[in-house]
Amino acid sequence: MATAPAPLSLSASTLPARLRAAAVPAGARGRQPRRWRMVVRAKIREIFMPALSSTMTEGKIVSWSAAEGDRVSKGDAVVVVESDKADMDVETFHDGIVAAVLVPAGESAPVGAPIALLAESEEEVPLALAKAQELANGQPQQAAPAPAEDDAATPPPPPPPTPAAAPAPVAAGTKGIASPHAKKLAKQHRVDLAKVTGTGPYGRITPEDVEAAAGIQPKPKPAAVAAASAPVAAPSAAAVPQAAVLPPVPGATVVPFTTMQAAVSKNMVESLAVPTFRVGYPIVTDKLDELYERVKPKGVTMTVLLAKAAAMALAQHPVVNASCRDGKSFTYNSNINIAVAVAIDGGLITPVLQDADKLDIYLLSQNWKDLVKKARAKQLQPNEYSSGTFTLSNLGMFGVDRFDAILPPGQGAIMAVGASKPTVMADKDGFFSVKSKMLVNVTADHRTVYGADLAAFLQTFAKIIEDPESLTL
């Protein structure tokens, strides 16, 4: 009669803590005992391309802060990524060694794609390099751990059904990873990220996951609305002419768009689907120029004075601060956030002066100085360039007397400000005088703003500019 073998005991001294031993128990009485198999799972984690903004679909690696072979700790910045608006540091969520860089500086990768491999220890660096080679060769990643040498000749058992039944594929070591915006929301709403199931790429926790865990009603997605009304929107989309791809001119040089330029191009094309109209208004600026000369030594710019005046006028005409996001309703914004167009090297960005109606011109000037500095360095955070409710574009410093601005997607109006120039004017009694006058043109979404609304707003704006002492209150 066969006797069952004594149970095998694996103590901490036998195996390191990070190794997992999977034992196959002996067979029933009368059967030959099976071999004990040890399966080793290496801790190799992937660093993913994060979504740094709601419109970002891919990112470009600007530089690696950590080189291959460097040991990093959780929270360390390892790479600088260029999104469609700014350059941002990306931190690691785990301790380890940067074993392999999959996407070198200067190249791009889609959101959610692995850009580097992180090994837990030096012993696992060769395994990470082998995995990097597999990814480079286009070989599929093995979700199941590699078997021991004893089982190399036998086919591996079928994978357990649990991963196949999961709602979304989750790469090893990525469960619980949250995007920077999701982490910020979790802190605001006191949500434990460890209890949140991610629905993003590779199991990443998205801001929507955090809002759902906090019990916040999700906002209607424009994409879903557009999909539901596709038959109606189809004629409008077809009406927009698509630019033909023309052969290059002999001797010309073709330079691809940067990430930011591609985002600007995309937004400008999207704006063609919005029915807009334009209204111009002349404004006397003699008193505004006098105020500017008084406050200029204190660091107040003309841009800040115009933004403050626009915010005060918007407070009296909230419909101009509203927008149409679904094609069938008004979205009234509780805050008045003035986005101001700024030209930077290789593109255009709109830093936002938040709550411009509630702050005085001196605090606004300090905020604006900080925003411009960060914009030039491409270090703006998403909420600092994507939260505008009204946009101001000023070309007056270049001597431009008038121009039209293109309405940004998601806003109701944008104001284009020209230069203030001496102009001969006649008063109501027929007497001539020379006064400084500037022209402003406002482009508005005709679905939410009508001609009378915009005219009334411009009248209020002109009164504030022509009697600007209220700007200093």
What is the domain-level CATH number for residue 422? 3.30.559.10
Q: Residue 48 is inside which H or E element, if any?
A: strand 44-48
Same domain, 58 and 203: no
Same domain, 325 and 464: yes
Residue 239 falls inside a structural domain: no
Beta strand pairing call for 432-445 and 413-417: antiparallel
Same domain, 299 and 440: yes
**Mean pLDDT for the stretch of residues 179-192:** 77
First-residue to last-residue Cα distance in the chain: 100
Residue the block writes with tokens 């409008």:
236
79 φ, ψ (degrees, to nearest 5):
-155, 150
pLDDT at 80: 86
What is the domain-level CATH number for residue 53? 2.40.50.100
Same domain, 308 and 408: yes
Query: Of the listed 94, 181, 189, 446, which one is catalytic?
Result: 446
Domain boundary, last residue among 70, 102, 135: 135
**Mean pLDDT for the stretch of residues 88-96:** 84
Domain boundary, last residue among 102, 135, 168: 135
Residue 415 falls inside a structural domain: yes
Residue the block writes with tokens 């930077």:
344
Residue 60 falls inside a structural domain: yes
pLDDT at 346: 73
Choose the most confident range, by mean pLDDT, from 22-31, 55-64, 194-203, 226-235.
55-64
86 has a pLDDT exceeding 60:
yes
Handedness of CA 101, 104, 105, 108 (dihedral sign): negative
Q: How far apart are CA 291 and CA 134, in angstroms?
A: 66
pTM greater than the 0.85 cutoff: no
Cα angle, residue 140 at apex, residues 136 and 141 outer, rounded to 5°: 90
218 has a pLDDT exceeding 60:
yes
Same domain, 65 and 194: no
5 has a pLDDT exceeding 50:
no
Tokens coding 401 = 């007397």
Classify residue 425 by its DSSP letter: E
Beta strand pairing call for 413-417 and 390-394: parallel
On whether the CB atoms of residues 116 and 125 are closer than 8 A, the answer is: no
443 has a pLDDT exceeding 90:
yes
Crossing angle of the two packed helices 302-316 and 451-466, in degrees rounded to 10 = 130
On whether the CB atoms of residues 413 and 454 are closer than 8 A, the answer is: yes
pLDDT at 244: 62
Q: How many CB atoms lie within 10 A of CB 360?
A: 12
173 has a pLDDT exceeding 50:
no
Of residues 214 and 424, the one with the higher pLDDT is 424
pLDDT at 8: 44
Residue 162 falls inside a structural domain: no
Of residues 439 and 11, the one with the higher pLDDT is 439
Residue 101 falls inside a structural domain: yes
Residue 72 falls inside a structural domain: yes
pLDDT at 372: 93
Q: How far apart are CA 21 and CA 37, in angstroms?
A: 8
Same domain, 317 and 466: yes
**CA 272 from centroid of its chain's CA atoms:** 22
Q: How far apart are CA 262 and CA 256, in angstroms?
A: 9
The closest alpha carbon to 394, from 309, 277, 269, 334, belongs to 309
Domain boundary, last residue among 113, 135, 157: 135
Same domain, 405 and 336: yes
Same domain, 313 and 190: no
Same domain, 52 and 200: no
Each residue of 381-418: pLDDT tens digit? 888 988 999 999 999 989 999 999 999 988 999 999 99
Same domain, 198 and 127: no
Q: What percent of the chain has pLDDT over 70?
A: 75
Residue 366 falls inside a structural domain: yes
pLDDT at 134: 80
What is the domain-level CATH number for residue 192? 4.10.320.10
Same domain, 107 and 208: no
**Is 446 assigned a catalytic role?**
yes
Q: How many CB atoms lie within 10 A of CB 63?
A: 12
Of residues 248 and 8, the one with the higher pLDDT is 248
Tokens coding 286 = 């003699």
Same domain, 131 and 191: no
Domain containing residue 88? 44-135
174 has a pLDDT exceeding 60:
no
The count of structural domains within the chain is 3
Residue 201 falls inside a structural domain: yes
Each residue of 320-373: pLDDT tens digit? 999 998 888 999 999 999 999 998 887 888 999 999 999 999 999 999 999 999
